Amino acid sequence: MIVVLLGPPGAGKGTQGERIADALGIPKIATGDVLRAAVKAGTELGLAAKGFMDRGDLVPDEVILGIMREALAQPEQAKGVILDGVVRTVPQAEGLAAVVRALGRTLDMVLVFDIADDLLVDRLSGRTTCDTCQKPFTGLRPGAPCPDGTGGTLVRRKDDEPEAIRNRLRVYHAQTAPVLQWYVEHGANVQRIDAVGSFDEVTARALAAVRR
Ligand code: AMP
């Protein structure tokens, strides 16, 4: 089962994607996580991506499609995969469709997280992220140890600063919102869920949608 999670930054795709992946027993790929790990490791990919990411701009489509081509060919994705934040432009949707087709697979569902912008600014500016496991936390200060005991430290992502958040929302509405229209026009199985509520409430809605 291949599921694309679509929604604005801060909608909960990362946390919920993890929970859906665990419930279905399949892996999750988040291009944001792949890119942050590359930045941390100082690889060529990381160096190329860092400036775009710090500003809240999108990394070029070809870079993303290169990551996806490699990731989807791995044997552990054979049973299925949850794709979190992977499709952010129409050319990426087209490119992913071609990669999936070339592998003889199908994209089973596009799960859309609905939430208003006002809530997102509050959520993102109050969030810290573990520099090791990349899990986001709310209500915890930068510098605190990761509550999951990974040995990592909580940091404020550069793109969770107010100016970058505003830019990420602008970029979402200009470049990613049309992706939803593209999927509808191409007959994808699009399911929408209300992303406002407790973690458990949203997980229940997401799981009900993927099991539908
Ligand atoms: P995320 O963790 O999903 O919020 O992604 C963090 C940043 O990584 C984004 O603001 C972009 O700069 C970059 N990024 C992640 N995924 C993509 C993608 N599919 N297309 C372009 N840029 C991406």
- Condensed to tens digits (0 to 9), the pLDDT of residues 106-154 reads 999 999 999 999 899 888 999 999 999 989 998 899 999 999 999 999 9
Pairing label, strands 136-138, 127-130: antiparallel
- For ligand 1, pick from 61, 63, 88 the residue to mutate: most ligand atoms within 8 Å of CB: 88
Tokens for 22? Answer: 């665990």
Closest CA to 197 of 71, 2, 34, 15: 15
pLDDT at 122: 87
- Would you please indicate which residues are annotated as catalytic (active-site) residues? 13, 88, 127, 157, 168
Residue 44 structure tokens:
């060529």
pTM of the model: 0.91
DSSP symbol at 129: E
Tokens 């949850």 label which residue?
82
* Ligand 1 atom at shortest distance from the alpha carbon of 168: 10
190 alpha carbon – ligand 1 mean position (Å): 21
**Sign of torsion over alpha carbons 169, 174, 176, 177:** positive
pLDDT in tens, 172-212: 999 999 999 999 999 999 999 999 999 999 999 999 999 98
Closest residue by Cα to atom 6, ligand 1, is 32
Rg (CA), the chain: 16
Residue for token digits 């970058």? 164
pLDDT score at 82: 97
Residue in the structure block whose two tokens are 């609905």? 114
- Mutating to test ligand 1, I would choose from 16, 47, 59, 128 the residue with most ligand atoms within 8 A of its C-beta, which is 59
State in Å: Cα 171 to ligand 1 middle: 11
Q: Name the DSSP letter for residue 176.
A: I
Kindly report the protein residue whose alpha carbon is nearest to atom 19 of ligand 1.
86
DSSP-derived letter for residue 212 is -
Under CATH, which architecture does the 2-26+79-115+176-211 domain have? 3-Layer(aba) Sandwich (3.40)
36 to 88, 109, 125, 173: CA distances (angstroms): 17, 26, 18, 23
- For strands 109-114 and 2-6, give the pairing: parallel
Beta bridge partners of 33: none
| Average pLDDT value for the chain | 94
